[in-house]
Amino acid sequence: MNTEKKRILMIATGGTIACKRSDGGLKPVLTSQELLAFVPDAANFCQADAVQVLNIDSTNIRPEHWLMIAGAIQEHYDDYDGFVVCHGTDTMAYTAAALSYLIQNSPKPIVITGAQKPIDLEITDAKTNLLDSLSFASCSRAHGVNIVFDGKVIAGTRGKKERTKSYNAFSSINFPYIATIQDGHVIFYLDDKEHLTAPVQFYRELDDKVALLKLIPSMDGGVLDYMAAHYDAIIIESFGVGGIPERETGDFHDAIRRCVQAGKIIVMTTQVTNEGSNMSVYEIGKNIKQQFDLLEAYDMTLEAVVTKLMWIMAQTREPQAVREMLYRTVNRDILFTGKE
């Protein structure tokens, strides 16, 4: 750890970490300054300031909020060495992925954290998570957008909440942890800041016309027609490595044909958390992928696919450009792209 104290900006958005009990249940009410007051030990290694951008339950997060958070970071980017965003856990993975696309090539660390229990409780993970996040944001070797939670550092595009109550709520999907934090010491597994050569780039637009269709046995293809009437990009979460159900009526195949002809973007992914999709393995997936030249998520998380499409569609709808941008790696989001 450098002896010189880094300047860190903590951005509060609400979430469990900022909650207090009310008659209706937990509700985010603590301010950014109140959150910081619970971790006085941070003053030993950083000079932290705090701002309040939102104070909401993360269930209510929307793309416009991601733009607000990114805008706050951009506004203060030159004044601080790192940033910590306090956020609710339920949609934290979406926010971390969204910020990964809105703020690219950042040599300064941008950390997203939160807690499973409010910070004002005697027994809570909040103080440790916030202190670890400030510590990582103060590390000169840290960079880019990452989640810090339960002593683990996860690439912003690779996090997923897999447990609703336990302190080890988040896992890194199809990618190793960036680092771990033990007793305030950051232990890097991927120490690659020197490979960062492009300047930081901020984006200020997202297109939220993205929907998810999770397949279940017996689902009718008419659902896809309905979604296509309301959205411009549809992610189809299929079974196993990926495929579309076949019926004598050809309903799903016909629905996909109509979507493609209407210029809709379709991305195939899998309901299975680990190891990703590969539609070329089975005939039931390979045929339809080749027939309609479908896009595929491969090893990307659902949260990354959703937010990356929002970022892409705000810039282009041209099919080849969408394909190239989806398969271009941003903040470690995709490693395997088949034969693409």
Return the active site residues: 16
Tokens 């960036």 belong to 178
Q: Report the run of H or E that residue 154 belongs to, with start and end.
A: strand 152-155
Q: Which residues of 124-146 are buried (b: 16+ CB within 10 A; e: fewer)?
A: bbbbbbbbbbbbbbbbeebbbbb
C-alpha to C-alpha distance for 273 and 240, rounded to whole angstroms: 10
Residue 313 backbone zone (phi > 0: left; psi -120 to 50: alpha; other: beta): alpha
Token pair listed for 84: 């910590």
C-alpha to C-alpha distance for 332 and 263, rounded to whole angstroms: 29
Distance between start and end Cα atoms, the chain: 42
Angle at 305 between CA 270 and CA 333, to 5 degrees: 100
CA 8, distance to chain mean position in Å, is 22
Residue 89: count of CB within 10 angstroms of its CB = 23
Parallel, antiparallel, or unpaired for β 152-155 and 144-149? antiparallel
